[in-house]
Chain A
Amino acid sequence: METTLSSLPGPREIESLSHTRIVQCYQCGKCTAGCPMAGQMDAPPTRVMRLVQLGDVEAALRAKSIWQCVSCQTCSARCPKEVDCAGVMDALRQLAFERGMASPAERRTVIFQRAFLDNIRRYGRLNELELIARFKGEVFLRGRAVGVLFEDADLAPKLQQRGKLHVRRQRVKNRGVVERIFSRALDGGGR
């Protein structure tokens, strides 16, 4: 999908979406220091914040790290300048997803989150079996990764034994309102 660079958001827009003043960040690195995933990230949190400050939003949106982030909130909790770094990561994810710019290397995560949303859109509550099936199917089709189909396959019977697998659908009666909520939030501008 083509992205028109001129339509990329600027730092101000990201600040407004995340309700935090990124300009306050003085690059102290405490977020990176406490991030459980920093060692594996291409751009640890400090660098992501700096990219946004410099206006290189594209690099931030395409980074793997925003999808490697587990939203543990440690960065925001410890930031001495009260910058909501976790909120910025959320904003970047939302923008990257909208624009189809999410890092291909982290495809699994994006597929999972979208499948999750589609699932609850349909039923109002999560149906795990259907989510797993949809997730595995899509990951397999996109990446031809056969392995995914068998991941944790050994757990299925054990979950079944323990009465933790529900074949019967979890759903709310008033699914119409759920559909309308989704439609207004996603299709009515989304932000």
Chain B
Amino acid sequence: MKLGYYPGCALHGSSNDYEQSVRASLAALGVELDEIDEWICCGATAAHSLNHKLAVALPARNLALARQQGHAEILAPCPMCSMQLLKAARAVRGDAALRAEIETIVEAPVDGGTGVLNLIQVFERAGIDKIKSAVKRPLKELKAACYYGCLLVRPPAVAAFDDAEQPRSMEAVVAATGAAAVEWNYRTECCGAGMTMANPETVLELSHRILENAAAHGANCLAVACPMCHVNLDMKQAAIEKRYGSHYGLPVYYLSDLVGMALGLGATELGTDRHFVAAPVGAKEA
């Protein structure tokens, strides 16, 4: 399987461990990624908060590039990027006048027909059963709290993925790795998103609630599929512990980490040794 690949700024920035993990685990599953040449930032929160046209144009440019480079479908592992791309595609499909305007702005034809996949969808495409049969080292000691965050499932009409209230897609992938997924209540609650710098108090509060609930429901790690969530829950975990006087020690794995580890890949290959919160003993030996 070959897919166009849109990393986004986070995966080429301080979340490059996520890119490492995605590339390693997908390679092990035989999924080929072809990075889109000259991709630009999707605009993220800044664009949709400050300027409507920019919020559509920046992702639209990337859709145009993907089309030009022969990709019918692309993987965007960051849900902020994938949501912006999906929203732009939808806007352009539904409004011919807007489409014409955007095409002028981005200097390329945009048809809005390019498929945009998130990481979970790519694992589903590769095949849950295929993953299961390829597992070399079942992650039996892991009790993962699958954390979806916001943009994988909302807004439901745009994401058109899983159930926005009781999603199960990540749990299915986690189950395939041999790990257990715990029942808990903050699976789709916001971690504070891109406010890490702008509004650190908010992030500490919201991410604290998530870690608190995961721990209360017996999780010994979290699984995420979003670089912002990872930063807020992993990099900021120490600050949260300090602020609220609690101790969690919950490693935060990218979903691709779990798949990779189960397939026998090591910490250096996946980049799990670059997380802030140390992994439990069992997983590190891989």
Give min CB distance, A89 to chain B, whole Å: 9
Of the candidates A91, A125, A159, A185, the one whose C-beta lies within 8 Å of that of B53 is A185
Chain B: CB-nearest residue to A89: B49
The answer on a CB contact under 8 Å between B41 and A126 is: yes
The answer on a CB contact under 8 Å between A112 and B198 is: yes
Chain B residues within 8 Å of chain A by Cβ, number: 53
Q: Which of A152, A165, A185 has the most CB of B within 10 A?
A: A185
* Cβ contacts A115-154/B at 8 Å (1 or 0 each): 0110010001110100010010000000000000001100
Q: Is A174 an interface residue (CB 8 A)?
A: yes
Give min CB distance, B183 to chain A, whole Å: 20
Q: Is B127 an interface residue (CB 8 A)?
A: no
State the CA gap A35–B55 with chains docked (Å).
Answer: 23
Q: Is B66 an interface residue (CB 8 A)?
A: no
The answer on a CB contact under 8 Å between A70 and B105 is: no
The answer on a CB contact under 8 Å between B50 and A173 is: no
Interface with B: A2-10, A47-55, A176-184, which one? A176-184
Q: Is A28 an interface residue (CB 8 A)?
A: no
* Cβ contacts A76-92/B at 8 Å (1 or 0 each): 11000000101000110
Q: Is A59 an interface residue (CB 8 A)?
A: no
Chain B: CB-nearest residue to A17: B52
Of the candidates A72, A76, A184, A190, the one whose C-beta lies within 8 Å of that of B193 is A72
* Cβ contacts B88-121/A at 8 Å (1 or 0 each): 0000000000000000111100000000000000
The answer on a CB contact under 8 Å between B105 and A116 is: no
Q: Is B169 an interface residue (CB 8 A)?
A: no
The answer on a CB contact under 8 Å between B46 and A191 is: no
The answer on a CB contact under 8 Å between B190 and A117 is: no
* Cβ contacts A15-43/B at 8 Å (1 or 0 each): 00100000000000000000011000000
Q: A158-B276, A185-B54, A186-B51 are in contact. Are A120 and B154 (CB under 8 A)?
A: no
Q: Is B130 an interface residue (CB 8 A)?
A: no
The answer on a CB contact under 8 Å between A113 and B190 is: no
User: Which residues on the A side are within 8 Å of B106 (C-beta)?
Assistant: 177, 181
User: Which residues on the B side are within 8 Å of A178 (C-beta)?
Assistant: 40
The answer on a CB contact under 8 Å between A93 and B49 is: yes
The answer on a CB contact under 8 Å between A182 and B54 is: yes
The answer on a CB contact under 8 Å between A94 and B150 is: no
The answer on a CB contact under 8 Å between B50 and A73 is: no
Q: A184-B104, A190-B53 are in contact. Are A120 and B14 (CB under 8 A)?
A: no
Chain B: CB-nearest residue to A76: B155
State the CA gap A182–B105 with chains docked (Å).
Answer: 9
Interface with A: B25-33, B199-207, B214-222, B249-257, which one? B199-207
The answer on a CB contact under 8 Å between A73 and B195 is: no
State the CA gap A128–B54 with chains docked (Å).
Answer: 20
Q: A73-B154, A126-B41, A159-B14 are in contact. Are A181 and B57 (CB under 8 A)?
A: yes
Q: A77-B164, A180-B107, A181-B105 are in contact. Are A108 and B50 (CB under 8 A)?
A: no
Chain A: CB-nearest residue to B94: A19
State the CA gap A93–B45 with chains docked (Å).
Answer: 11
* Cβ contacts B258-286/A at 8 Å (1 or 0 each): 00000000000000001010000000000
The answer on a CB contact under 8 Å between B13 and A170 is: yes
The answer on a CB contact under 8 Å between B15 and A74 is: no
State the CA gap A178–B164 with chains docked (Å).
Answer: 34
Selected A-B contacts with CB under 8 Å, 30 pairs:
A17-B52, A36-B206, A72-B190, A73-B155, A74-B190, A84-B155, A86-B155, A94-B50, A108-B199, A109-B198, A109-B199, A112-B46, A117-B54, A120-B40, A124-B41, A125-B9, A125-B12, A128-B14, A135-B197, A163-B274, A166-B13, A170-B13, A172-B40, A173-B38, A177-B61, A180-B105, A185-B51, A185-B57, A190-B51, A191-B53
Residues of B within 8 A of A (CB): 9-10, 12-17, 38-41, 43-55, 57-58, 61, 104-107, 150-151, 154-156, 164, 189-190, 192-193, 195, 197-200, 202, 206, 235, 239, 274, 276
Query: Known contacts A109-B195, A120-B40; can you find 13 more A-B pairs with CB under 8 A?
Result: A71-B45, A72-B190, A93-B50, A108-B198, A108-B199, A112-B198, A116-B45, A117-B50, A125-B12, A152-B239, A166-B13, A181-B105, A184-B104
